[in-house]
Amino acid sequence: MPLSAAAEHFFTANELTLRDSADEWTAVATAAGVALDDLLLIRQVHDATVAVAAPDRVRPWPRPEADAIISNDSTAAVAVRVADCVPILLADETGRNVAAVHAGWRGTAKRVVIAAVSMMQVRYGVRPERLIAAVGPSIGPCCYEVGESTRQVFRETGHHSTILDRWFTARGGGKFHLDLWQATRDELEGAGLNPDTIHVAGLCTKTHAGRFHSYRIDGERAGRMAAVIRAGR
């Protein structure tokens, strides 16, 4: 089952830069079918904290520090911003419970997507095998070169050497290519999702920098892309 059958969602590309332009964020909110104040973002800090957007209509939304946001509020859309990191959107089969997750390498090491699934279980009673995931464009294993220190962080956060060998491909000189797509899929499956309901775009933002924003290409000048999802009624 594709995510589109359960919940309205989309990923933007580089037609927007999504910094501080009210017009651009208004366009995103309009595309999601909500007012600008009902497009709920978080202050992403490369951790594994999960924010909960309860349908209590508290506005303005305070933008808590988190890297995942879950919601069952059909009057709001939730979103994360990325520029090479992995954007993950989740919904259960009913579409009434959704999540948006930002997973860079640090968040992946800290299992942020597993934390989001766990919070959906606790707050909404969602069964993981009923969830559907869409993983949007992000830097691919073709281009994501990292050093030994990055692999060491994964080791220190408890990832077994077997799984690290699956995610990190040695390139010589103490360098590796990190496969965040496989890591995300493995973590979603580990959280209880059915492999058939995990849909990975497989589009590398660095390879396709003419279409997507890439921090590896543009550094501090890079714009951001949004991954947006709205709970159904």
Residues 104 and 190 in one domain: yes
Q: Where are any strands of DSSP class E within 136-214?
A: 145-147, 168-172, 175-178, 198-200
Residues 62 and 171 in one domain: no
Which comes out higher in pLDDT, residue 131 or 172? 131
Measured in degrees and rounded to the nearest 5, phi and psi for residue 30 equal: -60, -45
Residues 20 and 125 in one domain: yes
- Asked if pLDDT for residue 1 goes beyond 80, the answer is no
Residues 119 and 68 in one domain: yes
- Asked if pLDDT for residue 20 goes beyond 90, the answer is no
Measured in degrees and rounded to the nearest 5, phi and psi for residue 41 equal: -115, 170
Residues 76 and 169 in one domain: no
pTM strictly above 0.95: yes
Measured in degrees and rounded to the nearest 5, phi and psi for residue 155 equal: -65, -45
Residues 80 and 108 in one domain: yes
pLDDT in tens, 64-113: 999 999 999 999 999 999 999 999 999 999 999 999 999 999 999 999 99
Residues 99 and 156 in one domain: no
Lowest mean pLDDT of 18-22, 96-100, 150-154, 176-180, name the range.
18-22
Question: Which residue range forms the structural domain that includes residue 155?
Answer: 145-178
- Asked if pLDDT for residue 204 goes beyond 90, the answer is yes
Give residue 59's pLDDT. Answer: 82
Residues 70 and 42 in one domain: yes
Residues 131 and 20 in one domain: yes
Q: Report the relative pairing of strands 68-71 and 8-11 from DSSP bridges.
A: unpaired
Distance from the Cα of residue 19 to its chain's centroid:
18
Under the banding of pLDDT at 50, 70 and 90, the label for residue 58 is confident
Give residue 77's pLDDT. Answer: 97
Residues 106 and 150 in one domain: no
Contact 85, 103 (CB under 8 A): yes
Residues 223 and 168 in one domain: no
Question: What is the residue type of 183?
Answer: A
Give residue 139's pLDDT. Answer: 98
- 28 contacts: CB under 8 Å, gap ≥ 6: 12, 16, 18, 39, 79, 226, 228
pLDDT in tens, 171-200: 999 999 999 999 999 999 999 999 999 999
Number of domains in the chain: 2
Residues 205 and 111 in one domain: yes
Question: For residue 94, what is the domain's CATH number?
Answer: 3.60.140.10
